[in-house]
Amino acid sequence: MRFLMFAAALGVAVLTFAIGSTAGPTAAEVRSLRNADPQVDLTPPDPARQDVHGRFDRAYRLQPPLIPHQIDRYQIDLKANQCLGCHDWSNAAKNGAPTLSMTHYLDRDGRQTDTVAGTRWFCNACHVPQAEAKDLVENTFKPSQSVR
Amino acid sequence: MTESLAPPSVRPGLLRRLWRFVWSPSGSIALGVLVAAGFFVGIVFWGGFHWALEMTNNEQFCISCHEMKDNVYAEYTSSPHFQNHSGVRATCPDCHVPKEWQYKLVRKIQASQELWGHFVTGSIWTREKFVDRRIELASHEWRRMKTTDSRECRNCHAFDSMDFTKQETRAAKQHQLAVDTGKTCIDCHQGIAHRLPQGGRDAYEAMLKTLASETAAAAPAK
């Protein structure tokens, strides 16, 4: 008798498991208490502060590329250049940063140098952080491509 | 001359009498009174010790020397640790003197060498002298922070309390990398409150090498 009861209990348990695993309720059948659709989009939201929205295109071919991040705390002076901490050819890969153009490793006599040329030291003489900003004055500039 | 000629029974000098008074057992004061008086005098002395320690552990004291005021303090006033959007300020000792008592005391004792430099040798008395020695002085601080896992930074900036999603995309990425690879604040953040000297990065790498060779030399001995 005891064996029969055990066998029956086992049978019920196995059956419940089989039903549960094969015919579980699908997402469409699940209803919340207030009948809201639980099929919500599960892609994570953007970080609260997204400073890099991709790089801006150059307005003309020879434009120095814009900087897609803030630079206001970086020291660029006679003693140090903190941009090179990521962008120098020797550091770029490990920091996932674009390398300086190789033209920046030519001194004024055209010789190749291993360190950035003195004439190219002050990055922000040409490169500026990109910003979605209105023109301060009316500007009719058109890149060469569009007037061709 | 008169002392040597005097007979041995003559009254000893003031210092000697004071010394004997302090070191002979009290004949008339109760032990309880002595203990109680010692307790209160102890409070005054211990409190006074800490008061003096704190008096020499604030920005006003630091910049009472022109070496600090004209060089490092002047640079610090344009850094975010001096002024920022939230109005929290980190003053000199917040970064340069440990908060924990045992480390603080060690650092304060080491700082007596700075008094020697100020009053006796004048090692960074002029701007030129300071600029010449700057890389060495900076290396000392970098080394201190590297060996303590940037303890003073972490009094305020802890990885545990950082919300990477609220940081700049680049910063969040680098901080995650720092957690994963066991880096410490000073490994990347040098020259945040003071200007970097020439060849700063190379000096930092050299400091790391010295540190590694020292640990390697110390390891087999243990």
Domain boundaries, chain B: 65-157, 158-189
Beta bridge partners of A81: A76
For B178, which residue in chain A has the nearest alpha carbon? A95
Cβ contacts of A49 within 8 Å, gap of 6 or more: B165, B166, B167, B168, B169
B1 band by pLDDT with thresholds 50, 70 and 90: very low
Q: Is the pLDDT of residue A45 over 80?
A: no
> Each residue of B61-107: pLDDT tens digit?
999 999 999 999 999 999 999 999 999 999 999 999 999 999 999 99
Cβ contacts of B3 within 8 Å, gap of 6 or more: B10
Residue B188 assigned as binding residue: yes
Is the CB of residue B217 less than 8 Å from the CB of residue B152?
A: no
Q: Is the pLDDT of residue B21 over 80?
A: yes
Task: Determine the average pLDDT of the residues in B52-57.
Answer: 92
Q: Is the pLDDT of residue B18 over 60?
A: yes
What residues in B contact A55, CB-CB < 8 Å?
none
Spatial distance between the Cα atoms of B73 and B206, rounded to a whole number of angstroms = 26
Choose, out of B132, B170, B174, B198, the residue to mutate when testing the contact with A (most A CBs < 10 Å).
B170
3-state helix, strand, coil in chain B (%, to 5): 65, 0, 35
Nearest to A72 by CA among B79, B119, B56: B79
Give helix B200-218 / helix B127-147 axis angle, nearest 10°. 40
Contact pairs from chain A to chain B, CB under 8 Å? 45
Q: Within an 8 Å CB–CB cutoff, is residue A93 touching chain B?
A: no
> Each residue of B136-177: pLDDT tens digit?
999 999 999 999 999 999 999 999 999 988 888 888 888 999
Kindly write down the DSSP assignment for every residue of B24-72, as one continuous string.
Answer: SPPSSS-HHHHHHHHHHHHHHHHHHHHHHHHHTSSHHHHTTSHHIIIII
Phi first, then psi: give them for residue A129, nearest 5 degrees. -65, 140
Domains of chain A, with CATH numbers?
58-128 (1.10.1130.10)
| CB atoms A51 and B169 under 8 Å | yes
Query: Helices marked H in A23-100 — which ranges?
Result: 84-87, 92-95
Distance from CA of B197 to the nearest CA of A (A): 6
> Each residue of A6-28: pLDDT tens digit?
777 777 666 666 555 555 556 56
Residue with tokens 């989009």: A41
> Each residue of A85-102: pLDDT tens digit?
999 999 999 888 999 999
Nearest to A75 among B168, B173, B196 (CB): B196
pTM for the model stands at 0.74
Spatial distance between the Cα atoms of B109 and A131, rounded to a whole number of angstroms = 51
Dmax over CA atoms of chain B, in Å, equals 90
Choose, out of B167, B201, B202, the residue to mutate when testing the contact with A (most A CBs < 10 Å).
B201
SS3 A76: strand
Spatial distance between the Cα atoms of B204 and B210, rounded to a whole number of angstroms = 10
Is the CB of residue B95 less than 8 Å from the CB of residue B193?
A: yes
For chain B, give the mean pLDDT: 90
| CB atoms B169 and A47 under 8 Å | yes
DSSP B170: H
What residues in A contact B201, CB-CB < 8 Å?
80, 85
**What's the pLDDT at B110?**
93
**What's the pLDDT at A48?**
52
Q: Is the pLDDT of residue A70 over 90?
A: no
